[in-house]
Structure 1
């Protein structure tokens, strides 16, 4: 009988301990802390956090804005000399995955559980936009297994081709599931809950990606253009841009936040010289007049720190207030970009339309984006250096798209690599032996924590260097 008594006592003790633990968990629950994440919070927080990454110091201000020679540095010039900081590289990767892919994957699942397809569609569109930024910057990335940390602690890297193809399918499905009557969403600080604009944004991203892959896979790209054209009125209407309008602190523009404590960026001499050469009226919008001069002066990219500092803060031009003000908007996709896409697609036979007319409309839309009249745009377009040249459309579109995307460093960086215009010169004392960056390097955490998959990606794609060409960058 003694042998039976011990298990009984043990069973009683186990039951008692389990009951105590459950009671402690019940007592220690915070009644003011929600146990279920609210979809409106996930949407608004996800938009703000990821647009901050896109527009902020690591991806743009110390990276793509310098590489594409929109901005230059007048202090701490290592980034402008292509010496990338490990922390910044890590932040871009970590923020986009942890604050973007994870959160929007959760929101998509919530959309299913709440039977609200519009939450899911918005989540998939934003997640696709983030994946597009990641693959544009790094090349092969974790995609199919990303956002599923409970299943895949060390996700496999997918090829850039597979990422782009997957995104085209996801965006198509998301656009198709949007309902414009009923199923309202809250927390939409980007488009104010306008599901028709979300659909247009999704289709605009589909065309952007289709053009990105057109040099490698023309037939797939054309199929996308054909599908979107057959869908009717599914693109952004005139004057509508997808942009986050920032608010006062603590929800200010990250560029404006940066300017509150430092002032080590200036507009690049490269773009100032181009704007001046074309008598471009966007120059005083893109750049400020220095305090000690009456003329806009840009800074050469990649100067040594001592040489840059000697130029003087009050004698060189900062970027204009439309980019640096506290409440300056961050543009994700503009009507002007959409028209440039359609112009190139028409020129290349991907869609119907008159390439020259669409190009003129694109330049006019860029002027309108900054409050300049169509009359001013028409006069500008008459100049020989601006008029559309079908025999060298990459130059015409590449240069004017570069000017129109000012501020959108990541997108401009991708399009410059794809079109090879404008023809930029490497930074003055660049660290890449006269070459320019063509990608971001993977963060060191991937080598340490996901080494097997990291090595497989590098073996397939090429050395993990700033100068390694990505799959889409064919020429």
Structure 2
């Protein structure tokens, strides 16, 4: 079903794009499409928002290593990122236009969520970015001002709350929904759960009275009838894959992941320390494992993400490193891609309890997050695992334990989310000890603004850089979010 929606949408979008051409003859073409049902636009927006399987993020987040060369994400020496995310915001603006034309308010409500999600993804990369002027529906502004990151997050929090409240009252039908099939309760659960993710991402700003983070958080958690949250993995914000052309798992039959990607050693070592059976569904045995049983932890090893390239290559050639589990390139369906899942929510609640934002036992949320992760990966034995001494919540550093388990639970999913969690909290620790890390051995805090902005929007770009980063546009500069 999904592929037919997408193909139809793309055809209509192409015709619409031609209709925007200023050539006089094309403007008079009576056959071109100038209007698109908001349901078709929603389908495409969902594909963009919920596709969060990334090898690059896997390298930076110390899940994987690459043996094809010195990869920027693995060795922490990246530079610019792009503003391609604004294309998604433009599609959301178009959906709002079409929703207003067809008088289908429900799509405008969902647009508040998608605008929030996409702009958070963008601002986490750079810091201050254009927003209020960049998504103007009424007029095109080619050199938009840069909004302060603080103002962006204030708007995001307000918009998410408005979207949740409005969706509860709306009686319209959601068509074109390939995630929840029009189920509004599940949409509300996603919006409210994501709201808590955003609040937790602001944990360094608890003293900001405009954000009022702890009170906002506890208001949602203490009022489940008004603000329902994920109750199980059945509520996950997940994009399912199908064995149909253009609908398969993103790395199905991908040659690079089969030959060049290995498990990262510190990640494997942590799973072995915890005696974590999820290792067996994440990784393949190392070639030199011989006839070892697949549940023999010593049959698995990895390459140190921070080690020099030649050292890793030699170890891989010697058969002493595990590749990623073959299902990631052999299974056309595999596991779904998550925008956000139930396990992540439980770890967010555990951290909130540890920080004193909400009541409840930190350990109960922590354990439930682990159970949810086992369930998501179809791994049995969660209760035995929870009884292990190494897995117990560390009373002296609960947040470290929580983030280590969140790191495991988000393996090969939710994009760069765990990297941002580490940047915010310092956990899990990402190894830089191997001598191969560039950037002075440091983990970058952000990406440089796109080169195109120096040409297209130089005055606003320079003003944004100077007010945020006295040292200039630097990958090690600290944005407001994590100051």
Same fold (TM over 0.5): yes
Q: What are the Cα deviations for residues 415-464 of structure 1, in whole angstroms up to 9, with x where unaligned? A: 11112112222264121111112222222112222222222222222232
Displacement, 1:24?
5.5
Aligned to 2:64: 71
Pick from 36, 52, 55 the counterpart of residue 61 of structure 1: 55
Work out whether residues 77 and 302 of structure 1, in 8 Å CA contact, stay in contact via their aligned partners in 2: no
Pick from 195, 214, 224 the counterpart of residue 216 of structure 2: 224
Pick from 153, 169, 185 the counterpart of residue 158 of structure 2: 169
Pick from 216, 221, 236 the counterpart of residue 230 of structure 2: 236
Work out whether residues 305 and 431 of structure 2, in 8 Å CA contact, stay in contact via their aligned partners in 1: no
Aligned to 2:477: 468
Moved beyond 6 Å, runs of 4+: none
Unmatched 5+ stretches in structure 2: 1-21, 291-298
Q: Do the aligned partners of residues 389 and 288 (structure 1) sit closer, same or farther apart at CA in structure 2, a change above 3 Å counting?
A: same
Aligned to 2:279: 283
Q: Do the aligned partners of residues 85 and 23 (structure 1) sit closer, same or farther apart at CA in structure 2, a change above 3 Å counting?
A: closer
- Could you tell me how far apart the structure 1 residues matched to 2:156 and 2:328 are? 29
Pick from 422, 429, 443 the counterpart of residue 436 of structure 1: 443
Aligned to 1:267: 263
- Could you tell me how far apart the structure 2 residues matched to 1:23 and 1:415 are? 51
- Could you tell me how far apart the structure 1 residues matched to 2:106 and 2:327 are? 32
Q: Do the aligned partners of residues 26 and 84 (structure 1) sit closer, same or farther apart at CA in structure 2, a change above 3 Å counting?
A: closer
Displacement, 1:157?
1.6
- Could you tell me how far apart the structure 1 residues matched to 2:332 and 2:317 are? 20
Work out whether residues 73 and 302 of structure 1, in 8 Å CA contact, stay in contact via their aligned partners in 2: no
Matching of residue 364 in structure 1 with residue 371 in structure 2: yes
Which TM-score applies when normalising by structure 2?
A: 0.83
Q: Do the aligned partners of residues 23 and 118 (structure 1) sit closer, same or farther apart at CA in structure 2, a change above 3 Å counting?
A: closer
1:16-95 equivalences in 2 (<5 Å): 28-29=29-30, 31=31, 33-52=32-51, 54-55=52-53, 60-62=54-56, 64-79=57-72, 80-84=74-78, 89-90=81-82, 93-94=83-84
Q: How many residues align?
A: 438
Q: Do the aligned partners of residues 227 and 110 (structure 1) sit closer, same or farther apart at CA in structure 2, a change above 3 Å counting?
A: farther
- Could you tell me how far apart the structure 2 residues matched to 1:196 and 1:380 are? 33
Q: What are the Cα deviations for residues 112-151 of structure 1, in whole angstroms up to 9, with x where unaligned? A: 3322232122222122111121122222221222223843
SS in 1 for 2:339: strand
Displacement, 1:255?
2.9
- Could you tell me how far apart the structure 1 residues matched to 2:324 and 2:177 are? 29
Work out whether residues 205 and 213 of structure 2, in 8 Å CA contact, stay in contact via their aligned partners in 1: no
Work out whether residues 62 and 264 of structure 2, in 8 Å CA contact, stay in contact via their aligned partners in 1: yes
SS in 2 for 1:266: strand
Q: Do the aligned partners of residues 322 and 341 (structure 1) sit closer, same or farther apart at CA in structure 2, a change above 3 Å counting?
A: farther
Work out whether residues 347 and 390 of structure 1, in 8 Å CA contact, stay in contact via their aligned partners in 2: no
Matching of residue 132 in structure 1 with residue 124 in structure 2: no
Aligned to 1:344: 351
Bigger shift: 313-322 or 291-300? 313-322
- Could you tell me how far apart the structure 2 residues matched to 1:438 and 1:428 are? 20
- Could you tell me how far apart the structure 2 residues matched to 1:436 and 1:205 are? 26
Work out whether residues 251 and 257 of structure 2, in 8 Å CA contact, stay in contact via their aligned partners in 1: no
- Could you tell me how far apart the structure 2 residues matched to 1:22 and 1:85 are? 39
Unmatched 5+ stretches in structure 1: 1-20
Q: Do the aligned partners of residues 276 and 446 (structure 1) sit closer, same or farther apart at CA in structure 2, a change above 3 Å counting?
A: same
- Could you tell me how far apart the structure 1 residues matched to 2:71 and 2:28 are? 54
- Could you tell me how far apart the structure 1 residues matched to 2:27 and 2:449 are? 44
Displacement, 1:276?
0.8
Pick from 201, 208, 213 the counterpart of residue 212 of structure 1: 201
Aligned to 2:407: 402
Work out whether residues 89 and 118 of structure 2, in 8 Å CA contact, stay in contact via their aligned partners in 1: yes
- Could you tell me how far apart the structure 2 residues matched to 1:37 and 1:308 are? 51
Work out whether residues 118 and 195 of structure 1, in 8 Å CA contact, stay in contact via their aligned partners in 2: no
Aligned to 1:3: none
Aligned to 1:252: 248
Displacement, 1:260?
7.3
Q: What are the Cα deviations for residues 250-284 of structure 1, in whole angstroms up to 9, with x where unaligned? A: 23333336447974222211211110111011101
- Could you tell me how far apart the structure 2 residues matched to 1:212 and 1:340 are? 13
Q: What are the Cα deviations for residues 378-407 of structure 1, in whole angstroms up to 9, with x where unaligned? A: 222223322112331121112111111112
Matching of residue 148 in structure 1 with residue 136 in structure 2: yes
Matching of residue 119 in structure 1 with residue 119 in structure 2: no
Displacement, 1:345?
1.1
- Could you tell me how far apart the structure 1 residues matched to 2:23 and 2:118 are? 41
Displacement, 1:22?
12
Q: Do the aligned partners of residues 453 and 241 (structure 1) sit closer, same or farther apart at CA in structure 2, a change above 3 Å counting?
A: same
Pick from 415, 435, 445 the counterpart of residue 421 of structure 2: 415
Say what the alpha-carbon RMSD is for the aligned residues: 2.7
Displacement, 1:309?
3.5
Displacement, 1:23?
10
SS in 2 for 1:472: helix
SS in 2 for 1:171: helix
